[in-house]
Structures are given as structure tokens and as C-alpha cells.
């Protein structure tokens, strides 16, 4: 999982900040905090830095969101296993994309748990974007393809999932300088790390065949 770095410890950085390092010689590595002296601030989360009282940690999920997540958990784990992805990663994308709301629709027209655009849904065979099984399957398969396209770099795959592959290519295979995307990437990485730690602390039964 090259290019994946997520620091979730407390500090001066805010959850929406994006830092970048080119020290590894194989491309950019992104993090939500500077992990060493090679990391420089790429984007400051202005909303967090403007308000001194803003929490450094991401908001906790509501009771309703937790109920939706728990209801989808067997399907998330089954879908993740099908495509060789960590359930925590699929869960993190679904969390940030829709808050696990199967009926979610964005102003741009993306729909469902993984917020599929019509073209992506058609490309991956999701006839009903609001059907959780079809939506999760198409979204996970698309993200798996993006990981392959970007040599396992999760940060770039997330950027492409949010902003589109063309925009990542136009910016020399770096996270495009769009505010939404540059806040989206570290948020998903942070959620991923949080869910990953929770999964390690509470081992899950394998998905039923």
C-alpha cells in the first residue's frame, strides 16, 4: 500500500490539513500531519484554523449513523473480501461519501453509499445506485481498479475517486489542488486508520460464504 501514511495523533495540525513529502523518490506521500522534516503543508484547513475552538479530531458518528453502519457491516465486509480490500478502507470511503446513507444524493448527481455517478454505475453494472449491494460492489470495484492504476497509492486512488482520474493525470499524478479533494483525502485516510485500529482491537469473524 505505497503512499499511504496517516497520522492521527494530537498536535497543532488539524484533521483537514494536507501535508506532502517527496523524500521517498517514488512520488508523493500524503499525510494529515507532518511526520518528519520532509513534510510541507500543502493545504491548511481554513475552517479549522479560523476557529480556535475547533476540535483537532474528526466528529464522532451519530447514533443514527452508527445504526446505518452496523446494518451495512456484513455487506461491507463481504464486498471488501470479494475485491481484496480491507473492510476498514471500504468503510472509511462509505463514511465520508454518504455517512452510510443509501438514499444520499449529492448536488453533482452522485448517489448511494459510495456516491456513484451515473457513468461509473453503468460502467460497473450497478443498475440501481440506491441498492446497497450494487452500490458497494461497484464502488469497491472502481476503487480497486484505481489502486491498480496508481500502483497501490491509496492517496492518489482516493483523489481520483473524488475528483476523477483525468484531473489526477492533468496534475502530474498528484492530488489535484481542489479544496474539496484536498480535504477529502486526509479525512478518508484518518477514518481508515481509526476503523483499522478498531478492527484490530476487535477481531471480526470472516464473512459468510
- Residues classed as catalytic: 97
Q: Are 58 and 190 in contact (CB under 8 A)?
A: yes
Answer for the pair 181, 163: CB distance below 8 angstroms, yes or no.
yes
- The partner residues of 105 in beta bridges, in order of sequence, read 111
Number of other CB atoms surrounding residue 199 within 10 Å: 15
3 state DSSP class of 19: strand
CA distance 66 to 68: 5
As a whole number of angstroms, the distance between CA 199 and CA 8 comes to: 16
Backbone phi, psi, residue 105, to 5°: -135, 125
Q: How remote is the C-alpha of 152 from its chain's centroid?
A: 14
Strand extents, DSSP E, the chain: 18-21, 29-31, 40-43
Amino acid at each position: 500500500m505505497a503512499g499511504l501514511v496517516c497520522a492521527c495523533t494530537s498536535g497543532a495540525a488539524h484533521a483537514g490539513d494536507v501535508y506532502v513529502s517527496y523524500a521517498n523518490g517514488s512520488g508523493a506521500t500524503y499525510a494529515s500531519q507532518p511526520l518528519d522534516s520532509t513534510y510541507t503543508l500543502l493545504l491548511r484547513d481554513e475552517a479549522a484554523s479560523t476557529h480556535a475552538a475547533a476540535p483537532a479530531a474528526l466528529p464522532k458518528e451519530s447514533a443514527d449513523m452508527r445504526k446505518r453502519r452496523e446494518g451495512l457491516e456484513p455487506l461491507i465486509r463481504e464486498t471488501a473480501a470479494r475485491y481484496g480490500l480491507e473492510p476498514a478502507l471500504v468503510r472509511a470511503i462509505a463514511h465520508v461519501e454518504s455517512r452510510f446513507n443509501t438514499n444520499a444524493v449529492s448536488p453533482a448527481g452522485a448517489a448511494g453509499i459510495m456516491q456513484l455517478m451515473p457513468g461509473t454505475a453503468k460502467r460497473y453494472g450497478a443498475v440501481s445506485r440506491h441498492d446497497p449491494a450494487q452500490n458497494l460492489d461497484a464502488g469497491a470495484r472502481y476503487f480497486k481498479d484505481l489502486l491498480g492504476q496508481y500502483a497501490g497509492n491509496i492517496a492518489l486512488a482516493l483523489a481520483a475517486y473524488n475528483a476523477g482520474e483525468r484531473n489526477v493525470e492533468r496534475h502530474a499524478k498528484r492530488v489535484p489542488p481542489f479544496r474539496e479533494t484536498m480535504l477529502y483525502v486526509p479525512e478518508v485516510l484518518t477514518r481508515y486508520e481509526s476503523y483499522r485500529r478498531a478492527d484490530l482491537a476487535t477481531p471480526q469473524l470472516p464473512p459468510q460464504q
